[in-house]
Amino acid sequence: MPQDKAIAMAKLAPEMQADLADMTTSTEAESTLVEIDEGGALARNLAIPTLAGRIERAGGFSGIPMSSRHYGTASECLAQAVYYEAALEPEQGQRAVAQVVLNRVRHPAYPNTVCGVVYQGWNQPVCQFSFTCDGALMRAPQANLWRQSKQIAREALAGREVAEVGTATHYHADYVVPYWAFKMGKLATIGRHIFYRFPGSPGRAASFYGNWAGREFKPQVDFARFLADDTEERVARVAEPTYIPGLTVVPDVTDRHAKADVGGRIDTTKTWRLTIPDPVEASAGYRNTLSSQGALIADEVAPAEVSEQEQ
């Protein structure tokens, strides 16, 4: 409903409308964070007051029939959000993440498809769910956690709710403090995620009136750019350091070594170089051994030679 969408968006403060793209739900860009350490972040987040009063519910989501050929795509996108955003969170926290996605599907500020919400900004500098634009999808899911994520996605699409997060459209980890946290309505903390709703009427249940678009499209993420970035990083990590002549270890008074080495390592500031002589050429013992063996062989061969001459 374009007219309703325009009305709902008009109710959002202009500043917040401008900030929507930066109000991501997971790993935050540095520019969106309050500069503070993790311990301080926990304290700051605790200091943000939780909204008083009854938490409104957007109602169970049941907009996509299982018979739809788009159901599988929607379920997969939702399962990916649950897995990559909250696989190690408690089950209720995983369900809350799924609810945030489906709340957005029905809110006019966001796309009206599941995959559209999950992949929003996937090809932009800032994406709403970081796993879609940071290469995380290149990591194969852990089988048991992926099965659980898919089950939670299916149950969320069937209408299962998490009452304490109500009309939440945002969340962030408790070890960061995004600037927008102070502008939203804090609803609940589950696991390490803190959930928020829009302030005022845009965060009320009446604003979640959007209908599912009737189709789903999952974009084809170009993983080549992540591989290229990864290759550059790996090359940088394995690059050989520049050779600088000098000591490779710090000498110690307890070291027992020649003047031209340090603890068994060559001091390249000296002119001495390690050489291993050819034992055949340099060992007197080796030559003596050969000489004595040759003499014995000569003594053993001599009688045979004499007998042959006599014959």
Q: Which of 14, 28, 59, 56 is nearest to 197 (CA)?
A: 56
What's the confidence (pLDDT) of residue 49? 94
Q: 3-class DSSP state for residue 265?
A: strand
Is 170:23 a contact under the CB 8 Å cutoff?
yes
Distance (Å, rounded) from C-alpha 256 to C-alpha 217?
71
Distance (Å, rounded) from C-alpha 42 to C-alpha 20?
24
Pick left, alpha or beta for residue 43 (phi over 0 → left; psi -120 to 50 → alpha; otherwise beta).
alpha
Residue 250 predicted with pLDDT over 70: no
Residue 1 predicted with pLDDT over 60: no
Residue 232 predicted with pLDDT over 60: no
What's the confidence (pLDDT) of residue 5? 56
Tokens 């796993």 locate to 131
- What digits encode the pLDDT tens for the residues 218-228? 998 887 777 76
Averaged over 264-280, what is the pLDDT? Answer: 57
Which amino acid is residue 12, in one-letter code?
L
Q: 3-class DSSP state for residue 262?
A: strand
> Per-residue confidence at 292, pLDDT binned at 50, 70, 90?
low
Q: What is the pTM of this model?
A: 0.69
186, β-bridge pairs:
50, 196
- What digits encode the pLDDT tens for the residues 26-45? 544 444 555 566 678 899 99
Tokens of 244: 């600088």
Q: Compute the Cα dihedral for 141, 132, 105, 30 and give only its sign.
A: positive
Backbone angles phi, psi at 33, to 5 degrees: -105, 145
What's the confidence (pLDDT) of residue 12? 80
- What is the DSSP track for 164-212? GGTT--EEEETT--BGGGGTSEEEEEETTEEEEE-SSGGGSGGG-----
For 247, 272, 276, the CA distances from 264, given in Å and listed in that order, are: 12, 13, 15
- What digits encode the pLDDT tens for the residues 146-174? 999 999 999 999 999 999 999 999 999 99
Q: Give alpha helix (H) positions in the chain.
A: 2-11, 14-19, 38-47, 71-86, 91-106, 114-118, 143-157, 224-238, 279-282, 284-310
Domain residue spans in the chain?
2-236, 261-310
Quickly count: other Cβ atoms within 10 Å of residue 92's Cβ: 13
Residue 180 predicted with pLDDT over 60: yes
What's the confidence (pLDDT) of residue 286? 61
Provide Rg for the chain, Cα atoms: 36
